[in-house]
Structure 1
Amino acid sequence: MHRRRTALVLSAVIAAAAPLLTACGNDAHPGAAAVVGGQRITIAQLDSRVNEVREAQRAAVPDDAQYEQAIAKTGTLARDTLHGMVLDRVLHRAAQDAGVSVTRKEIQQMRTGLEQQAGGSQALETAWLQQYNIPPQRLEDNLRLQLEAQKLAARLGTTTQETAFWEALSQASQKLDVDLNPRYGSWNVEKSSRVDAKTPWVREVTASATEQTA
């Protein structure tokens, strides 16, 4: 049985790639974890997303000791989750600007191929939770994100690891005027020299779902 290898697209490379986020120097938006395109990501919304991950971890690891280990390994979960929520909107805007869209059918095709590769739906959900802190109810949102990244890169005639792709994200970030609450970290706009934790929330699937089922 041939297993297709996958590669990370957005992870620690964020720190070295074109700047995506601008730093916020004051609490201009009380109660907001971030403001993206004039829309608030509230602290309550962020907490809710973090709780989704914690509940999924608890369900997947009923043993108390193992659960505590899982918590210890994801101690920066709130910051990681906020990074993901912001970057999701940045990438979606970049895809829209390039005329890229993703259909429900494409998402299902990707999921089917990945489930066959992983050994079933539950195995795939467990893998995404353990490796990327993506709870089951957010899996298809993440797959949509992957597809947007792939299709955006294709539209630009580049790859997700090359400069043109990151420039598109940088332009989208500037248009959205991202304002991050410093409670969750800050970015050097010129150097993008700091990232609180790896956020491998987008993966580039190197083969289509159809190819994976072959």
Structure 2
Amino acid sequence: MHRRRRTALLLSAAIAAAPLLTACGDDARPGAAAVVGDQRITVAQLENRVDEVRAAQRAAVADDAQYAQAIAKTGSLTRDTLHGMVLDRVLHRAAQDAGVTVTRKEVQEMRSGLEQQVGGAEALETAWLQQYSVAPERLDENLRLQLEAQKLAAELGTDTSRPEFWKALSEASAKLGVDLNPRYGSWDVEKSSRVDARTPWVREVTAAQEQQPA
């Protein structure tokens, strides 16, 4: 697995550019948290994703105090989850445009390698939950995105921290058209990011090396 700098694909809290798309309102898109191209992300779908993370956090801790701490650390979970769901579709469109595909075998190979690094399947699931707010049942999906991003960057002759990579995502955002329900913010086409997003959507998988069990 090709190693890249851990700074790649970090969506910084410093993102503050003005939104370049009109956000959709509740009246125009009843029940929609976002519309990406011809796909709707419903509020119910978003809430289900958030519930998956909360359930995993509850199961991972021993008492109510620890669970409360976990919630406090992920206070923007709903908005950040929506950000990830939208960017998932944007990245997939950019990958399609570049002829990039990811196979199930590639995902399983990446997962096996990471499990060896961190000490097993449970340790990997815990690391992704704690660091990236990814529920265990979404782990393979997240790893597919990691691979898709890496392969897209390679196809473009760059890496995921370079402007060329983000330009491809910006172009995909513009082609799709992204409308967010105003309660969740607005979408910045140039940065392919939800305005005021605070939590990284995807980080370099090499960060898992820091999750070695004590």
Q: 2:210 is matched with which residue?
A: none
How far the C-alpha of 1:194 sits from its partner, in A, is 7.2
1:33/1:42 contact within 8 Å kept: yes
User: Is the partner of 1:202 in helix, strand or coil?
Assistant: coil
**Percent identical:** 75
1:24/1:179 contact within 8 Å kept: yes
* CA deviation string 1:46-87 (max 9, x = no partner): 000000000000000131100011111111110000000000
* CA deviation string 1:11-68 (max 9, x = no partner): 3248659999734163321110000011110000000000000000000013110001
Amino acid at match of 1:124: L
2:146/2:204 contact within 8 Å kept: yes
User: Is the partner of 2:203 in helix, strand or coil?
Assistant: strand
Cα distance in structure 2, aligned partners of 1:39 and 1:195? 20
With normalisation by structure 2, the TM-score equals: 0.86
User: Is the partner of 2:105 in helix, strand or coil?
Assistant: helix
Q: 2:68 is matched with which residue?
A: 68
Structure 2: 5+ residue runs without aligned partners?
A: 208-214
Q: 1:173 to 1:5 in 2, by over 3 A?
A: closer
Q: 2:121 is matched with which residue?
A: 121
Amino acid at match of 1:24: A
Q: 1:42 to 1:65 in 2, by over 3 A?
A: same
Q: 1:96 to 1:21 in 2, by over 3 A?
A: farther
Q: 1:187 to 1:178 in 2, by over 3 A?
A: closer
Cα distance in structure 1, aligned partners of 2:145 and 2:125? 16
Q: 1:145 to 1:82 in 2, by over 3 A?
A: same
* CA deviation string 1:81-108 (max 9, x = no partner): 0000000000011001100000111101
Amino acid at match of 1:83: H
Q: 2:106 is matched with which residue?
A: 106
Q: 2:204 is matched with which residue?
A: 204
Cα distance in structure 2, aligned partners of 1:101 and 1:167? 19
Q: 1:210 is matched with which residue?
A: none
Amino acid at match of 2:8: V
Amino acid at match of 1:144: R
Amino acid at match of 1:66: Q
1:25/1:182 contact within 8 Å kept: yes
How far the C-alpha of 1:201 sits from its partner, in A, is 2.8
Structure 1: 5+ residue runs without aligned partners?
A: 208-214
User: Is the partner of 2:204 in helix, strand or coil?
Assistant: strand
Amino acid at match of 1:26: G
Aligned residues: 204
1:21/1:179 contact within 8 Å kept: no
Q: 1:177 is matched with which residue?
A: 177
* CA deviation string 1:102-151 (max 9, x = no partner): 01111011001111111110000000000000000000000000000000
Cα distance in structure 1, aligned partners of 2:90 and 2:143? 16
- Quote the RMSD (CA, aligned, Å): 2.7
